[in-house]
Chain A
Amino acid sequence: MTSSTNYETLATAYPEAINPNRRKQMMWLGGFFGLIGYFAYIWVAFDISGAFARASMDRATLLALDSYAYKHHVELSLRTGEVMVNLEGNRRAAFDEFPDWVVADDGFTSVDMGQGYRAELALGFMRIYRDGALIVETAPGPDGPLLQSEALGWMKVAPNKIEGRPDSYVRFIVTKSKITLQRYTTGWENFWFDNGSPLHGTSIWAAIGLTISGEQVDPTQSNLSLVSSEIWGNQEWQHGQVWYAMLITILMAFCGTVLAAITALPLSFMAANNINPMWFLRGAVKRVFDFLRGVDALIWSLIFIRAFGLGPLSGILALWFTDTGTFGKLFSEAIENADKKQIEGVSSAGAGAVQSTWFGVVPQILPVLISQTLYFLESNTRSATVIGMLGAGGIGLKLADAMRTGQDWENTMYIISLIIAVVIIMDNFSGWLRTRLIKGQEKSAL
């Protein structure tokens, strides 16, 4: 047989492998252009170009910067001539003793702004130097500050306000009544100990060292309890409250999921067509599942918050109702897909209806049951965050509060990081437990 006849026999045997399929090609092409057309429609319908035009990117950069950096404010009141240094503009977090980068001397203040910038403040002027060269100078005028130097592109000059950001870490704002300098530093300030704490300024390593050895800081309690209570009670980061809220969220997810699984199991037997011969009951239970699932957790939480008030109990009930619907559907499908042979085998050995279900069906659906429940435990941690945000409490509410105040984005970032860490841990834990409990059978799941 020569190679050409070989090719011809193959070509007649498998025409589709050799000849391109026209219909298939046209389908691909049609699908491709359909997709492009759809995206064009979406571009117009969602007003994407308009949204990008209106987007405030400086807001985005500010937000990003503020989530990993903090700033000190240096304020000079032009009415009283008083100089104040504080954290994030919070008057309660003012420094009694100025940090070494602020030198105040008889009505003249020199501030090392970092990044090669230096500022000089006095009642009569504000000067900003970059690497020793004067770049900005303002003087007070009758209606507001007056710019004495050349106006640069990055400055915003208005009759009552002059502000500028020569570097993302350096900012100044001059108004009629005060001059504010903002000096950014990378990191999360006072993460372990807040301003009011006796351990303020101590690093965490030094604090751990104190708990192991070292002099007793507070004579009334041991160093360990002092350090832990100071961290836990940190006013700025609220570690205690945040972690408690996280616990409440996990609790919501756990209780909601387990209650739903327990409720859905008997109901799903009623909905399975190989168990329950009464079609109207089957249909009714299935419609109940659809209803529970279709009314989303969000709507359920609205209903329960109205009845039980704000809090995690309403969240648990909302998750319970929604997931009963989802579990009911999944479990009853698993029961319907169960192998008949095992049921027949058990009943041929003389088992009754209950026994043949217990020994014939339950062992088959158990892996699906466990793996789905564990999977939902993880995904419900996220759902609990969402409904918590809408009033059920827990970490979601904390996050919503932190975002709403909009000042301290590092707090928001902290809470988000915590949520992500917990969800990843839950994910890995449930995966580990799943493989431990059902050893290699999990592939039958879903």
Chain B
Amino acid sequence: MSETLATANMAAQYEIMERRRRVYTGLLLILLLVMLIGGVRIAEEANSGSILSGLPKILDYPSDILSQAYTRGWGFWLIPFEVQHADNGIQHTYFYYLIETINMAVVATIFGFAFGAVISILASRNLVKNQMIVWVTRRFTDISRAFPEIVIALFLIFIFGKNPIAAVAAIAFHTTGALSKMFSEVNENADMKAWEGLEASGASWIQKIWFGIIPQVWPNWISYGLLRFEINVRASAILGFVGAGGLGQQFKTFVDWKFGADIASIILILILTIVTIDILSTWARRRFIGKVAH
């Protein structure tokens, strides 16, 4: 008899908790909605045009570009193979600039990966005894992650002139911060048994890292690195827009000149590249860590 009472009591308790949870969730959603509507209204006020006046014009730019591309006829598909004039008088096709953009991303990712790997070890609480070092490296990664890439790129363009170095250094700096945070999370989740075994057999700190930790974590590191590479391809295209070379810089020129067919062609190339890299890196990530980890 008392058991059924206890169960009934529990059911009632559960009912109360459930109701409270629903109220909280509802309140949270309402708050979110209010913030959203308020935010959009503030943004609309600060904007030079409003939602209603803009809606009919939303297809203006795309249709403008596409109609210019259409008037080129079949020639549109040949634009990527046409030779463009660069600032320094050297002539290249779009494919050259596309490769430059991808190279920028590759180099930045390699450097970011290498620095990120080293720093992540110093930022892992389980691998470094001196917690002071961990704290300092973590603050460094916080700062390097928070630095907007475009700012560093603009500074470096100011010093080096228009050159891919600016974009590479900027992206590599940010990538170092982003990857070292993710890597250190992987490191901290590593199984420490191998580490302890190596410690018992008298291994040095570097040996413990190399034989005890790296074999466990590298597939995840590679996976995160590939994910970052996808992001960096976009970043290098955008930084080209502010003058760091590559396809982005060409894009900026044609946006300023309002050459619709060229704009459409570059957008098409960028989309195809990004989607291709997406697919390739997803495939590579599956290969490296298998389907289990995801």
Contact = CB atoms under 8 A, between A and B. Distances in A.
Interface residues of B, number: 62
Interface residues of A, number: 64
Nearest to B59: A307
Contacts of B274: 293-294, 296
B155 interface: yes
Interface stretch (B6-14, B129-137, B156-164, B200-208): B156-164
Interface in A397-443: 399, 403, 416, 419-421, 423-424, 427, 443
The CB with the most chain A CB atoms within 10 A, among B148, B165, B242, is that of: B148
B36 interface: yes
B156 to A, nearest CB: 9
Interface string B135-168: 0000000110111111100110011110111001
Contacts of A38: 106
Main secondary structure of the interface of B (DSSP, over half): helix
B238 A42 contact: no
Nearest to A322: B234
B40 interface: yes
A243 B121 CA distance: 37
B46 A419 contact: no
B238 to A, nearest CB: 5
A203 B289 CA distance: 58
Contacts of A294: 270-272, 274-275
The CB with the most chain A CB atoms within 10 A, among B147, B150, B154, B158, is that of: B150
A400 B275 CA distance: 31
Nearest to A254: B39
A315 B54 CA distance: 14
B43 A54 contact: no
Contacts of A299: 267, 270
Main secondary structure of the interface of A (DSSP, over half): helix
A316 B165 contact: no
A51 interface: yes
A300 to B, nearest CB: 10
Interface string A270-290: 000000000000000000001
B58 A259 contact: no
Nearest to B248: A298
B192 interface: no
A48 to B, nearest CB: 6
Given A248-B46, A309-B54, A310-B47, A419 B40 contact: no
A421 B43 CA distance: 23
Interface stretch (A55-63, A85-93, A131-139, A345-353): A55-63
Interface string B218-259: 000000000000000010011001100100000000010000
Interface string A310-336: 111111100000000000000001000
Nearest to A423: B146
The CB with the most chain A CB atoms within 10 A, among B39, B110, B163, B242, is that of: B39
Given A51-B161, A54-B161, A312-B46, A303 B61 contact: yes
Contacts of B245: 46
The CB with the most chain A CB atoms within 10 A, among B32, B47, B161, B238, is that of: B47
Interface in A233-282: 248, 251-252, 254-255, 258-259
Given A45-B103, A296-B234, A385 B44 contact: no
Contacts of A304: 54, 58
A313 B44 contact: yes
Contacts of A42: 103, 107
Contacts of A39: 107
Interface string A39-77: 100100111100110111101100100000000000000
A403 B243 CA distance: 14
A268 to B, nearest CB: 16
The CB with the most chain B CB atoms within 10 A, among A46, A315, A399, is that of: A46
A302 B255 contact: yes
Nearest to A287: B275
A350 B112 CA distance: 52
Interface in B49-67: 49-51, 53-55, 57-58, 60-62
A76 to B, nearest CB: 31
Interface in B87-130: 100, 103, 106-107, 110
A23 interface: no
Contacts of B278: 290, 293
Contacts of A337: 294
Given A57-B159, A63-B155, A294-B271, A419 B148 contact: yes
Contacts of B158: 59, 63
A386 B163 CA distance: 19
B123 to A, nearest CB: 14
Nearest to B223: A446
B61 A308 contact: no
B42 interface: yes
Given A307-B57, A311-B47, A311-B49, A46 B164 contact: yes
B27 interface: no
A306 B61 contact: yes
A420 B163 contact: no
B35 interface: yes
Contacts of A420: 143, 146-147
A416 B151 contact: yes
A385 B61 contact: no
Contacts of B237: 296, 298
Given A51-B163, A255-B39, A295-B271, A309 B47 contact: yes
Given A313-B43, A403-B154, A416-B151, A307 B165 contact: no
Contacts of A302: 61, 255
Given A311-B47, A423-B146, A443-B189, 20 more contacts: A38-B106, A51-B161, A258-B32, A290-B278, A298-B237, A298-B238, A306-B61, A307-B61, A308-B51, A308-B53, A311-B48, A313-B47, A313-B50, A382-B146, A382-B148, A385-B148, A386-B150, A389-B150, A416-B151, A420-B147
24 contacts: A46-B100, A55-B159, A60-B159, A63-B155, A248-B46, A254-B39, A255-B39, A255-B40, A290-B278, A294-B270, A295-B270, A296-B270, A303-B61, A308-B49, A311-B46, A311-B47, A313-B44, A313-B54, A316-B43, A337-B294, A382-B149, A386-B149, A386-B238, A389-B150
> Which 10 pairs show the lowest CB-CB distances between chains A and B?
A311-B47, A309-B49, A309-B48, A308-B54, A294-B271, A423-B146, A313-B47, A312-B43, A306-B61, A307-B57
Interface of A: 35, 38-39, 42, 45-48, 51-52, 54-57, 59-60, 63, 248, 251-252, 254-255, 258-259, 290-291, 293-296, 298-299, 302-304, 306-316, 333, 337, 382, 385-386, 389-390, 393, 399, 403, 416, 419-421, 423-424, 427, 443
